[in-house]
Structure 1
Amino acid sequence: MNVFLSIAQILLGVALIAGVLLQSKGEELGGVFGGAQGVYQTRRGLDRVLFTITIFIAIAFFALALINVIFFSANQ
């Protein structure tokens, strides 16, 4: 069970990193590392879907991290 939770958390972490990096596709390389965007744009279509999926992955990652902490501390 511990191995499954750890692997799931690693996979969610990689998916979260990929989701965040894919959202900066319209910007230059400086936008990936925190460059400011001058114009506010609303998210439409695929951008909105990717944004929503990234939020759900982040929530799942956080919940799994809490479960891991609770589960590992209970086994010690």
Structure 2
Amino acid sequence: MNPNWTKIKVFTNALQGEIIKQMLVENNIPAVLLNKQDSSYHFGVIELYVDNEHVLEATALMDSFNDEEITHED
């Protein structure tokens, strides 16, 4: 992977990864998913990368998304 990108999260569920990636992109944070899952059996991981300039912003946004998700489950 390009050294200008940082892995910030790992998923085992492709849909979760796509949702988080889309949230970042909608907030003008460049994001890429690197799917390392086996195509036949779907084991392995999906890695989420953002460019180095947006790491703190992306992690803060993901944290606020997770906090919001938790409060809506009550």
Structure having the larger proportion of residues in strand: 2
Bin of the TM-score, shorter chain as denominator length: 0.3 to 0.5
Which structure has more RCO (C-alpha within 8 Å, separation ≥ 6)? 1
Highest CA radius of gyration, 1 or 2? Answer: 1
Q: If the length of structure 1 is used for normalisation, what is the TM-score?
A: 0.36
Structure having the larger proportion of residues in helix: 1
